[in-house]
Amino acid sequence: MTRDLTLHINLDAIQHNYRILNKQAPDARIAAAVKADAYGIGLTQVAPALYASGCREFFVAQIGEAITLRSQALKNEKDIKIYALNGISSKNDIKRFIDYDIAPVLNSLDQIKLWQAAAKTAGTRLPALIHFDTGMKRLGLSESETQWALQTPNAFDGLDIISIITHPASADTPDSQQTEKQFSQFMSISAQFPDIKVSFCNSAAVFLKPNYHLDLIRPGIALYGGNPIPERQNVMQPVVSMTAPVLQIRQVKAGESVGYGASYVCQADSTLATIGIGYADGLPRSISNKGRFYFRGQACPIRGRVSMDLTMIDISEITNPPKPGDHIEILGENQSVDHLATDAGTISYEVLTMLGKQVQKCYSK
């Protein structure tokens, strides 16, 4: 990275959030979601911190992430279990799943058949999780596939089923009736698997009802400081902070426009600061003319469109305003990742993964 931008990540805060989740669901095991490079935070740093907190089970999206987790992030730890949510894409995946001891989450009858064939070839039962779609309409056995599987005696032959799972679609909206409907449907399915562990909760569902916790919870965004239920006060500890430098100060007269497309016109004489961060650094362009940064606790509204590596802010009302070389808070004490995401019309997941992919990261405890 050549940009003078750093995403600061507090690993102690991640461990603190793990303990909050453990306290919230004391009778359930925690399997941390560390897909997408641990939501942009950094898999090779985050996974050891979670392991040190007691986490022994991890969810990733696909086999490549699982191999990185097994062979790099936690290469010396022999007691971890890794589950790949996207399952098996082709026969070419099978050897890698077996060689690296990764359990696929099987999402369709076709994936189940592939894994059963691999088990037959290996001459042993192979570990897997079975995903039943109860309303997300994304991954998992469809309603018709579920009915067929439950009515077919040998549907899961050759599989060592670690757990069955489903994914709540609306748990971050507490008033939604969909979550309870999905849970009820999932419990009906789980009754057909009396000796198999079950998993329902993402981050949000953990904070809805204790009976949702079941055997295993799968938190993601909550570990990284995001608010699991936006309508409620965030009980998680902030994990990330970020500043960007002031590059230039200029005076703009009333009636003059700012930035590309003249999308903002100053209503009064103003003092603007140009900040060295833009959409190439992962800052959402949709925050143009809507969001704010902070200087010494004082809000500085964004003026004009966010450009590739520059953003303009209004410092007219700031006491002891910044000078070139001073740093402006993008994320931190005054602005959480959720607040920035709300201004940008998106979600904290997207902000973290965008920023984490583009800028250098610095870890502290």
Q: Sorting pLDDT into bands at 50, 70 and 90, what band is 3?
A: low
pTM (two decimals): 0.95
Whether the Cβ atoms of residue 223 and residue 17 lie closer than 8 Å to each other: yes
CATH code of the domain containing 75: 3.20.20.10
Q: Do 220 and 245 belong together in one domain? A: no
What is the per-residue pLDDT for 131?
A: 98
Active site residues: 35, 260
pLDDT tens per residue across span 300-336? 999 999 999 999 999 999 999 999 999 999 999 999 9
The one-character DSSP state at 202 is -
CATH code of the domain containing 357: 2.40.37.10
Q: Do 38 and 175 belong together in one domain? A: yes
Note whether residue 273 is domain-resident.
yes
Note whether residue 233 is domain-resident.
no
Whether the Cβ atoms of residue 266 and residue 311 lie closer than 8 Å to each other: no
CA dist 45 and 201 (Å) reads 25
Over residues 87-112, mean pLDDT: 95
Q: Do 97 and 244 belong together in one domain? A: no
Q: Do 40 and 184 belong together in one domain? A: yes
Range of the domain at 307: 240-364
**Residue 329 contacts by C-beta under 8 Å, 6 or more apart in sequence?**
241, 242, 243, 293, 294, 295, 335
pLDDT tens per residue across span 19-70? 999 999 999 999 999 999 999 999 999 999 999 999 999 999 999 999 999 9
What is the per-residue pLDDT for 231?
A: 84
pLDDT tens per residue across span 162-173? 999 999 999 999
